[in-house]
Structure 1
Amino acid sequence: TLHVMNLEYMKVSLFEITPDIFYPFSSAAGDRNPAVEDGSSPVIQLSSPFLFFGRTYRQIYVNNNGHLTFNQPSSVYTPYSFPTNGSQDIIAGLWTDLDNRVKGVVSYQQYTSGNVLTNATLDINTYFPNLKFNASWVFVAMWNKVAYFRHIVSSGLISGSNYSFILMNYGDIAVTGHPVQAGYDTVNSIHYFVIPGSNRSSSISNLRISSNVDVPGRWAFRVDSGLRNSILKCKSLIYR
């Protein structure tokens, strides 16, 4: 881990060596979650509205236990089994009992220009051809080496041209005894998805070699409209 002090802007950046599937990421002052058990970020105002299955959101919360919520933070550390038929939309990169007081960093960053948008545009057009997509905004949340186990996960939200997508990226994840789940769920579970095997704690280390877009460790979903668009346009499933 390398800490770099930018004296001009008085910010500290954290650069991590991560697999190629992760977008370049620096954790600057102001975009790290507090080291609080079952804590969350403050409300984050989005630089661009994000359309999630028909609902438009302008804010988000990054929760320390591995998931994103829109209307309010969540301290819940035991994942609900999707579908929950609940009252909130949720994106779970890897929802489980984490504790960033002990080790690791939970952080987030937004992009409206630069190489991250270029990479996102190329990725989405590869996974969802014929859309002629151009990314105008990317939001990345990362749970990096958070206790109680080796844990590198990021959830990326991508939007542009009235389309919205989620990328879930997985590095090394050790087996845990805690309940786990990865995927997403919507209000009343009209749309939901559970990444195969992610709700079995004994097999979550396989997430780094699983995929629905032929890129080990990455899952991609279109989420601006219905379930058909979100999954069926993706490529073949890899899960071992």
Structure 2
Amino acid sequence: MGKYWYQQYTNGSVLTRATQDINRYFPQRGFTASWVFVATWDYVQSGDINVFNLHSAPAITFQVVLISGGGFSFILMNYGDCAEISSPVEAGFDTINSTDYYLIHYASNGSYIPNLKNTTNVNVTGRWAFLVNRGSAPEIFYPFGLSGDTRNAAVDDGSSSVIPLLSPFLFFGRRYQQIYVNNNGHLTFNQSSSQFVPFSFPAYEGQDIIAGLWTNLDNRARGVVSYHQYTNGSVLTCATLDINNHFPNLTFNASWVFVATWDKVAYFPNTSTETSFQVVLISGSNFSFILMNYGDIAVTGHPVEAGYDTVNSFDYFVIPGSINGSFISNLKNSSNVNVPGRWAFRVDSGHSTSKKYVIGLRVRISSVFDLTQYENIAILQQIKQELVKYGLPRNIELKLRKVQKITP
């Protein structure tokens, strides 16, 4: 039952719409679609068939759209009504040897797939969008590889020398005048770090740390670790636009940007791997922000960690999916600001033990996770970041109360 449709387009209104959609979801590319392929499964029934009533099988409606132009390739996955089924399911993409893959949330269990029409990674309910031409993810990166960049020495577990900051950086209430770029994927302020096994956040240590992708990297074999500071020019203009887009209701002007890039760096001792990511520090007036940009991330068996932690872990964040080396290739498709491959955080305000006021917030969340469990604390941190983005103070504390619905 149901219908299967497919059609290709090389001109007309479908290409116009595809161009508009892609430029909305993947800004700063100036994309123009030249080809679109649309495959639709319209009210198709699953294999859960009652042989006595063929019309009783659950029906599913969804669509896969392939879009290309100018060297870029994209996939849109659109979900309508998807009935609950008992058959095995999977939604996302995979590649030869699984060097790149992505599994959409709720898509591995037939009991949860009705939720697909309410999920998204681009703020359009029911739609998932992916950039899939290999090597193009660094389009979201800030400039690197320029003549003014400073490169770290190719040393196992090495670091930069102390870097005096051209403008102080406020990090959760502490003002820093210096920083270190460590080869193993993280930034520290008070001293360099050769630590290649990441602490698990929250670590409750006596240091502040920013982990783009903290793991056992080796720039002796492959890749470049570099950094660059800016106090004027087009990079500040770009940072100003990005922050005002990602954090609405702020009138922000960037006065300083620090860009640290790990470009195609190998894991130790696997010299054939390549991993690219970037940490961007941005400040202006009394505001401070971090952008973490992810390109192609190779899988690894090493312990990994991405996010940040503070002295005594009063403030910390772990990017979901970043603590398992088998899944980190998904980082270039994940985001908290609707820009695939980018995570953005406001980090200027510090933790406060005094509570000036209490805000009651009641939210209905449809989730397969128990948010009261310790291992799901990162989801609460992401909710906190969203609240801060829309105006709540950075030192708010989230406390979750588990309520059980009882049928009278």
TM-score, length of structure 2 as denominator length: 0.52
Q: Deviations over 1:6-64 (max 9, x none)?
A: xxxxxxxxxx9862211122343771001110000000000000000000000000000
Q: What is the letter of the counterpart of residue 61 of structure 1?
A: Y
After TM superposition, list the pairs within 5 Å mapping 1:107-186 onto structure 2. Answer: 107-148=226-267, 149-186=273-310
Q: What is the letter of the counterpart of residue 142 of structure 2?
A: Y
Pair 1:191 & 2:310 matched:
no
Q: What is the letter of the counterpart of residue 183 of structure 1?
A: G
Mean Cα displacement is larger for which, 20-29 or 34-43? 20-29
2:328 counterpart residue number: 204
> Which of the pair has the greater relative contact order for Cα pairs under 8 Å at 6+ separation?
1
User: SS at the partner of 1:159?
Assistant: strand
CA contact (8 A) 1:66 1:98 kept: yes
Percent of aligned positions with the same letter in both sequences? 70
User: SS at the partner of 2:306?
Assistant: strand
Q: 2:386, 2:303 → 1: CA distance?
A: 25
Q: What is the letter of the counterpart of residue 185 of structure 2?
A: G
Give 1:232 shift.
2.6
Pair 1:80 & 2:199 matched:
yes
Pair 1:39 & 2:158 matched:
yes
2:208 maps to which of 77, 89, 92:
89
CA contact (8 A) 1:94 1:180 kept: yes
Aligned-residue RMSD, C-alpha: 1.8
Q: Deviations over 1:135-177 (max 9, x none)?
A: 0000000001111221110000000011000000000011111
Unaligned runs of 5+ in 2: 1-134, 268-272, 352-380, 391-408
Q: What is the letter of the counterpart of residue 136 of structure 1?
A: S
Give 1:103 shift.
0.7
CA contact (8 A) 1:212 1:234 kept: no
CA contact (8 A) 2:137 2:341 kept: no
1:238 counterpart residue number: none
Q: Deviations over 1:166-217 (max 9, x none)?
A: 0000000111111101000000000000000100111000000000000000
User: SS at the partner of 1:173?
Assistant: coil
TM-score, length of structure 1 as denominator length: 0.87
Bigger Cα Rg: 2
Q: Deviations over 1:84-103 (max 9, x none)?
A: 00000000000000011111
Mean Cα displacement is larger for which, 125-134 or 68-77? 125-134
Mean Cα displacement is larger for which, 20-29 or 104-113? 20-29
Shift in CA distance, 217/30, structure 1 to aligned 2, threshold 3 Å = closer
Say how many residue pairs are matched.
220
CA contact (8 A) 2:137 2:294 kept: no
Q: 1:142, 1:176 → 2: CA distance?
A: 19
Unaligned runs of 5+ in 1: 1-15, 236-240
Pair 1:215 & 2:333 matched:
no
Q: 1:42, 1:133 → 2: CA distance?
A: 31
User: SS at the partner of 1:202?
Assistant: coil
Shift in CA distance, 231/77, structure 1 to aligned 2, threshold 3 Å = farther
Q: 1:28, 1:18 → 2: CA distance?
A: 22
Q: 1:179, 1:95 → 2: CA distance?
A: 8
User: SS at the partner of 2:254?
Assistant: coil
Q: What is the letter of the counterpart of residue 145 of structure 1?
A: K
Q: What is the letter of the counterpart of residue 125 of structure 1?
A: N
Pair 1:232 & 2:351 matched:
no
2:16 counterpart residue number: none
